[in-house]
Amino acid sequence: MPAISQSVTLLAHTPDALSLIYAAFRQCYHPGDVADLWPRLLAGEVAPQKQADFVGRILASGHESPIEHVSFSFAVAGVSRALTHQLVRHRLASYSQQSQRYVDAAGFDYVLPPAIAAIPEARECFEAAMERAGAAYAELQEILTRHGRGAKANEDARFVLPNACETKIVVTMNCRSLLHFFELRCCLRAQWEIRALALAMLGLCRQALPVIFDRAGARCERLGYCPEEERFSCGRFPRLAEIPRSSV
């Protein structure tokens, strides 16, 4: 039952992503049918930099809906059930998570919070709790199997598993949902584990589609000020109320 580290892999994204976004934007302002333009885009007749410049200008005006046509899919492992409970609150997304009903969790790996790892007595207490949970799970499996639950023993024994229990999940979001996810979860006030996930995903997105994600991140980075109330601000950026009106 070792502590485990997070890993994030970009499985796939919509093919010809930049050209698709460019075509979608162009359709909004073009009297013709962009289906006629599409073969030229695939043939490279419109330079990628020209496409990127056009998309960047329109995005800067606040028009974002066409980027919803492109999606990214990630394989995430080495994360806790505490993280995925937060992750699935982002509704405009698709999730496929490892099942604790069908996957035997005996000897489960777990996520060890850095704050706990840094304090020897806290780490000792935490690791002992993981051992107790693992032992209780195995004992319940045995008892339930002996009483006829058979293959269904896991689905009842799992009730003693902790939030720290490691899980794996496949996540798919469109670009617009990803931008919103990054605004909230790259913030310094986001919990450390989901912030690490968001930053890893953002790095992969920036490599794949920089015109959309180069300026993505916490909301304060885009706005230049913190939109939170004073008690929720980390202090990295001034709050809007603290900025002189002439500067806004």
pLDDT tops 60 at residue 247: no
Residue 116 has pLDDT above 90, yes or no: yes
Radius of gyration in angstroms for the set of CA atoms belonging to the chain, rounded to a whole number: 23
pLDDT score at 108:
96
Phi, psi angles (nearest 5°) of residue 75: -100, 120
Going from the C-alpha of 140 to that of each of 145, 152, 163, 167, the distances in angstroms are 8, 11, 18, 20
CA distance 113 to 109: 13
- Strand runs (DSSP E) across the chain, as ranges? 7-13, 71-80, 93-97, 166-174
Q: What is the pLDDT of residues 42-77, one digit of tens each?
A: 999 999 999 999 999 999 898 999 999 999 999 999
CA atoms within 13 A of residue 158's CA, in its CB half-sphere: 18
- Residues ≥6 apart with Cβ < 8 Å to 145: 153
H or E element at residue 26:
helix 17-29
- Give the torsion through C-alpha atoms of 70, 27, 91, 10, to 10 deg: 10
pLDDT class of 36 with cuts at 50, 70, 90: very high
Question: Which two three-digit tokens encode residue 18?
Answer: 């930049």
pLDDT-based confidence at 156, cuts 50/70/90?
very high
- pTM for this model (two decimals): 0.92
Displacement of CA 78 from its chain's centroid (Å): 13
Quote the tokens at residue 236. Answer: 């990295």
Contact 69, 24 (CB under 8 A): yes
In the predicted model, is pLDDT for residue 182 greater than 90?
Answer: yes
pLDDT score for 8: 98
CB 137 within 8 A of CB 160: yes
User: Is 185 an annotated catalytic residue?
Assistant: yes
pLDDT score at 246: 58
Q: Which of 26, 158, 176, 185 is catalytic?
A: 185
Domain boundaries, the chain: 101-164
